[in-house]
Amino acid sequence: MSFRHFIPFLLFSGCPLFGADCAIEGIVVNSISGEAIPRARVSINGVNGPNTTADNSGKWNFAGVPCGPARVVAQRPGFTVPAVRPVALVAGQPRTDFKLELTPQVVITGRIIDDLGDPVMGAQVSIFFGRIADGKFTFHLTTGAQSNDLGEFRIPNLERGKYIVCAGSRCYPGLPDGGRASAMDLAPGRDARVEIIAISDAHTVHVRGAVSGLPAGRGLSVSLVPSANRGIGMKAFDAPVGPKGTFDIAGVSAGSYQLAADYFESGTRMSLRVPVEVGNSDSDGLTVSLEAAVIRGIVRVEATSGAVPPVPQFAVYLRPPIELRTSTSISKWTTDHQSFVLADLVPGTYRLDATPPLPFYIRSASLGGVDLLAQADVSISRAAGTLEIVLANDGGSLSGDVAGADGQPAPSGILLLPVHGRPRIVNTQPDGHFIVPNLPPGDYSVSAWDHVQDVEYSNSDWMRRYATGTPVTIAASQPSQLSLKQLAAPPL
């Protein structure tokens, strides 16, 4: 255990590495109105550390507490806790007027009724929250609830932002696939009420068919998953597969779906993913098959001079986009250490994730003739071909410093956008200095951000509006330097 990791361990375990006679006092306030919040619970370093309750004027204090790095947190029903910033407690230097801010919660309430006007009890309600993932604004399933006997639900403790509420395949105010325009923009303290009309069983149909490729006597179930938002947070319709391979899925409403099933046999995954359009009448005679999907990969090294070094073994991933939340396939190297396989794949959209050890970088990567570095997401089928990765060891480096609007060093997130290849994000040191080794040679646009996780680098219109990149050319095996001004990422 390094000394850097040892300090928080001692503090959290109650060992006063720097003494136990420190003091801190302050007030809990509403981050929007600035008003004091009475009777909030205040703690230092989590549930096992010192804790107290603020008085009716929001004031609190601690004395005789362990010195050193500390995280002071306030909690109060009806409020959410912003990001906690650490504070250094020093013996003989009590902290005063330390302000803890809490933000009024967002609450979503509502009612689920069917198309006959009757309340729906036990409906699964899903809440989608808008955020940035892989440089793109998308909606992610964040929490949920079930409706009661009156068809009502209440979901508290939400932070400000853009929201969509779904029940079954019905969503308010629109589907998550619609982006920002289909969402509610809820400010702190907002209590939003929605009503969703579900489809009653009287207006649903059956989808029937058969599955081939399933070993005799083996059990299996199939799922009909709504295509909207790739099925995330939507109600799926399930049914068992009978001894003769037949299935009958009931209660399905009209719309676009994907029929899905997975089966594991002797360590091999067999799957099916078939698009299905459902109308207003029963659908019969759908025939699908289970098949295994394995991609084989090879890696070679292109050295700039001298003998070609041996191929290093490293993790190669094919993962779905973050918002899909489906399984990632991880490489398994063969015994000759010259190639690998990616198993347990299902047909779908993936992206390559691989970080070879120094001094190598990925010069090129292709799958069945498709450039995996040029495209963020690639559609992969069972007949995708061979994954070919070429490594090189002539990477350059980039170092520099970031200053804020006041000209002082500013810790930031550095975004590197190559003309060809994948974007890369690194964090500076606390003093704003950064160094990025082993970069593929080429032209880049580099920018520094206060909240790089909120940068929509995959959205060209957003980048033209908000980003000011500094161009830099990375030469093979050569260092480069630049100075950056920190940019402010606008609210989502």
Mean pLDDT of 199-205: 80
Nearest-Å Rg of the Cα atoms of the chain is: 28
Residue type, 6: F
To the question of pTM greater than 0.85 for the whole model, the response is: no
What pLDDT, on the 0 to 100 scale, is given for residue 16? 41
* CB burial string 114-142: b at 16+ within 10 A, e below: beeeeebeebbbbbbbbbbeebbbbbbbb
Residues 6+ apart with CB under 8 A from 486: 402, 403, 404, 405, 410, 412, 448, 449, 450
- Contact at 8 Å (CB) between 98 and 24? yes
Does position 8 have pLDDT exceeding 50, yes or no? no
- Contact at 8 Å (CB) between 102 and 79? yes
Which 3 state secondary structure label does DSSP give 379?
A: strand
Q: Which of 8-22, 65-79, 233-247, 272-286 has the lowest mean pLDDT?
A: 8-22
Residues 6+ apart with CB under 8 A from 455: 132, 135, 413, 415, 449, 467, 489
Does position 272 have pLDDT exceeding 80, yes or no? yes
How is domain 295-392 classified at the CATH fold level? Immunoglobulin-like (2.60.40)
CATH number, domain 106-198: 2.60.40.1120
Give the pair of three-digit tokens for residue 150: 């009156």
What pLDDT, on the 0 to 100 scale, is given for residue 1? 37
Q: Which H or E run contains 227? A: none
Short-list 124, 130, 128, 127, CA closest to 167: 124
Sheet of 246-252, strands arranged across: 246-252, 205-212, 283-289
- Contact at 8 Å (CB) between 271 and 261? yes
C-alpha 462/C-alpha 447 separation (Å) is 14
Using left for φ > 0, alpha for ψ between -120 and 50, and beta otherwise, residue 56 falls in alpha
Give residue-wise pLDDT tens across range 105-116.
999 999 999 888
- Residue 403's DSSP bridge partners are 409, 485
C-alpha 176/C-alpha 143 separation (Å) is 14
Contacts for 450-453: CB closer than 8 Å, 24+ residues apart: 450/410, 450/412, 450/413, 450/486, 450/487, 450/488, 450/489, 451/413, 451/488, 451/489, 452/412, 452/413, 452/414, 452/415, 452/425, 452/427, 452/489, 453/132, 453/413
- Residue 88's DSSP bridge partners are 69
C-alpha 97/C-alpha 144 separation (Å) is 38
**CATH number for the 396-487 domain, one of 2.60.40.10, 3.40.50.920, 1.10.1740.10, 3.40.50.970?**
2.60.40.10
Give residue-wise pLDDT tens across range 441-471.
999 999 999 999 999 999 999 999 999 999 9
Q: Where are the domains of the chain?
A: 3-104, 106-198, 205-290, 295-392, 396-487
Give the pair of three-digit tokens for residue 362: 């990925």
Residues 6+ apart with CB under 8 A from 351: 134, 318, 319, 320, 321, 372, 376, 377, 378
What pLDDT, on the 0 to 100 scale, is given for residue 420? 87
Give, in words, the CATH class of 3-104. Answer: mainly beta
Short-list 204, 209, 280, CA closest to 245: 209
CATH number, domain 205-290: 2.60.40.1120
- Contact at 8 Å (CB) between 439 and 397? yes
Give the pair of three-digit tokens for residue 74: 């306030």
**Cα 462 versus chain centre, distance:** 20
φ, ψ for residue 161, nearest 5 deg = 150, -165
Neighbouring CB atoms inside 10 A of 342's CB total 23
- DSSP letters, 97-109, are EEEEEEEEPEEEE
Q: Do domains 3-104 and 396-487 have the same CATH topology?
A: yes
CB neighbour class for 317 (10 Å; exposed up to 12, middle 13-18, buried from 19): middle
C-alpha 174/C-alpha 189 separation (Å) is 22
Mean pLDDT over the full length of the chain: 88
State the pLDDT confidence band at 11, using cuts at 50, 70 and 90.
very low
Percent of the chain's residues with pLDDT above 90:
59
Give residue-wise pLDDT tens across range 377-434.
787 776 678 899 999 999 999 999 999 999 999 999 999 999 988 899 999 998 999 9
- Contact at 8 Å (CB) between 456 and 468? no
